[in-house]
A = this chain, B = another copy of it.
Amino acid sequence: MAKGEVTRKRILDIAQDAVLAKGFDATSIDEIVAGAEITKSGFFYHFRDKNALARAMIERHIEFEDQLFDDLSHRAAELADDPLQRALIWMKLLAELLDDMPGGHPGCVVATAVYQDRLFDQGVREANRRAVEGWRKRFRGMFAAAAAEYPPREAVDLDDLADALCAIIEGAIMISRAVGEPRVTARQVMTLRSYVKLLFSPKVS
């Protein structure tokens, strides 16, 4: 890795920690600069402004999370052939993962940016849109496979169901932070899992 990329990565690492802990607005460039042991000029050499930093962070986060979700899918596929079972296992694995985070989910960079989106330019907003649409597509695929095998008991739009998973995760992170209960996020994933189970389980039990 070239020297420039190392510094760039260090800046992103420092920034990510600070942003997840305190929010984007609360993280000053001076602070990042001090943490990464560079100068302000050095920072602006790598990122033309704070927007560029935000965009880079979001894109990196999407990449990381994609890999993590792919990993969960892979493990779920190993444990079951049935698409519904796979979806249920996937959600259980996610819940376990969330529960293992001692301080709760560190908070979503995307959500952070969404709630402060007036601070950011069009590029950041676009990055955010792509992130959410990526989740929607992924979750929809998972539920669509289940729906193909098991007719849902209630008429439900698959995009809505995918959004529900996304929404409940994001919402749970918010609640968990607001009330200071880290485990809320995992519990909410399990709550939605219970819905998926009910929705796709055969009518005659």
Contact = CB atoms under 8 A, between A and B. Distances in A.
A153 B198 CA distance: 8
A61 interface: no
A163 interface: yes
Contacts of A160: 187-188, 190-191
Contact of A26 (B118, B131, B171, B179): B118
A170 interface: yes
Contact of A168 (B26, B115, B167, B205): B167
Interface residues of A, number: 55
A182 to B, nearest CB: 13
A109 to B, nearest CB: 10
**Centre residue among A117, A156, A174 by max chain B CB count within 10 A:** A174
Contacts of A168: 164, 167-168, 171
Interface string A185-196: 001101110110
B163 A167 contact: no
A111 B184 CA distance: 16
A175 interface: yes
A51 interface: no
A10 interface: no
A135 B169 CA distance: 18
A112 interface: yes
Contacts of A191: 156, 160-161, 163-164
Contacts of A175: 132, 163, 166-167, 170
A60 interface: no
B114 A174 contact: yes
Contact of A169 (B128, B171, B190): B171
A166 B171 contact: yes
Interface of A: 21-23, 25-26, 107, 110-112, 114-119, 125, 128-129, 131-133, 153-154, 156-157, 160-161, 163-164, 166-172, 174-175, 177-180, 184, 187-188, 190-192, 194-195, 197-199, 203, 205
